[in-house]
Amino acid sequence: MSLEYRMVAKVAWAVIAAMALPLAASAQVQTGLVPPESCVGVVEAPTATATSGEATAPANAAVAEPVSTAAPAPTRIVPAVPNAATDSIPHIADSTLVRDLRKGGYVLLFRHAMTNWNERDGAEGDFANRAKQRNLSQSGRAQAVALGKAIAALGIPIEKVLASPMWRCRDTAQLAFGAYDTTIMLYGKGPTFREARIKMLSTAHAAGKNLVLVGHQDHFIPIVPGLKRDQLKEGDALVFQPLGSGMYKVVTQVTPVEWAKLAGTPAPPEPGETPPVGSMPAVPPGQSGGVAQPDIHRH
């Protein structure tokens, strides 16, 4: 090969190398091999690994904005009741509470009195058959009577008493207050019944009168902020102040013993968390018995 030919070849290779450097730098930026901060106006993209046979994008090609895969921030769910900020139930039973209740305008929600722990509910909605329901124990019946005596002694005026159609609620209402009406709205499940219960708690009543409800804890936990499972013991009451338009305030929780102390009447039997074996009250005639079973859904 002649010297002149070799000189021409060297010059050609130098030109080709000079033209290739910008393209290589651009490819390095686009494949993530060069930090994007070193290049003005370049959008950061995920790192890519070049493989043989792949076409290289032009240096001036538009780079798409990266799509975020981060999960959105959680949205806080606000309960549809006014005192959503409340994270606990007040527990104050004093002369001020009695004075306010004597003026009327409140709702007293009682969970039914103490029940036989060796009974379980049978078919859903079989309200007439007492034998297929969990019923009041003898201590529960005494507790309901004591509740009624304390409320009467305190001079708290009652406009109406509404009870769930389950016998444990009906018996509590009758033993404590005498006359009562049953309503499925204190037992049914679903949005319609939930709205009805909210209306019961939020509707103002005539001056000098209070509404009494006798029901189950499960049906009110979703609409009472701060109310936890089994916090409302059998026989306990929650006092509500209706505010209208679906709003209400939880005033306090009161136990049967506290009602009796306020009234100065005989104290009712106190519930045991887990009755010892052999100490459970006898099943009244006509009611079901059987082997004690753990009751997962005690309402």
At position 104, the amino acid (one-letter code) is G
Cα 2 to chain center, whole Å? 93
Q: Which long-range contacts (CB under 8 A, 24 or more apart) does 58-62 make?
A: 58/26, 59/22, 59/23, 59/26, 59/27, 59/30, 61/30
Region of 63 please: left (phi>0), alpha (psi -120 to 50) or beta.
beta
Residue 254 has pLDDT above 80, yes or no: yes
pLDDT in tens, 101-158: 999 999 999 999 999 988 888 777 789 999 999 999 999 999 999 999 999 999 999 9
CA dihedral 127, 128, 132, 133 (to 10 degrees): 50
Whole-number Å distance between alpha carbons of 211 and 253: 16
189-200 residue pLDDT tens? 999 999 999 999
Indicate the DSSP class of residue 151: H
CA distance 233 to 114: 8
Give the Cα separation of 236 and 255 in Å (integer).
5
Contact 75, 237 (CB under 8 A): no
Nearest Cα to Cα of residue 158 among 173, 140, 143: 173
pLDDT level of residue 270 (50, 70, 90 thresholds):
confident
Encoded tokens for 252 = 């306090």
Report which of residues 219 and 286 the model is more confident about: 219
The per-residue DSSP string of 189-233 comes to -SHHHHHHHHHHHHS---TT-EEEEEE-STTTGGGSTT--TTTS-
Mean pLDDT of the residues in the chain: 74
- Hunting for tokens 């309960």 — which residue is that? 79
Q: What is the pTM of this model?
A: 0.64
Phi-psi region of 202 (alpha: psi -120 to 50; beta: other; left: phi over 0): alpha
Tokens of 291: 């082997």
